């Protein structure tokens, strides 16, 4: 199985192609946001999100985890048949960014 993992918080994405499927920036962001919401709410869609184990040995250049794996589809994943593409999201870093932004606006 071919796995496409995208770190959406670290990479500006205009479009991603996996096999014959092209995902827009909005679709990638929607998957990332959905994964983060599930992590924050302690909920799941099927078995996702779950901690990304990095069996592929990708190097994330100094970025620490935990990372969460979540299916990437042309519409938001709510469970059921799994696609062959996934987004890897790092909720902890996104939460820190939100806290820093909150402090800046106070």
pTM of the predicted model over 0.75: no
Q: What would the pLDDT profile of 42-86 be if each residue is shown by its tens digit?
A: 999 888 888 888 888 888 777 777 888 888 877 666 777 665 556
pLDDT of residue 2: 38
Burial-class residue 57 by CB neighbours within 10 Å (0-12, 13-18, 19+).
Answer: exposed
Rounded CA separation 86/47 (Å): 13
Domain 15-105 has CATH 1.20.140.10: no
């Amino acid at each position: 199985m071919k796995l496409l993992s995208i770190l959406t918080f670290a990479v500006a994405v205009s479009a991603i192609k996996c096999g014959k499927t092209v995902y827009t920036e909005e679709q990638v962001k929607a998957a990332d946001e959905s994964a983060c919401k599930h992590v924050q709410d302690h909920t799941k869609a099927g078995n996702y999100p779950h901690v990304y184990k990095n069996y592929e040995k990708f190097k994330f250049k100094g970025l620490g985890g935990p990372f969460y794996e979540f299916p990437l589809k042309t519409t938001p994943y709510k469970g059921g048949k799994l696609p062959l593409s996934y987004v890897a999201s790092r909720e902890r870093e996104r939460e820190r960014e939100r806290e820093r932004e909150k402090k800046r606006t106070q």
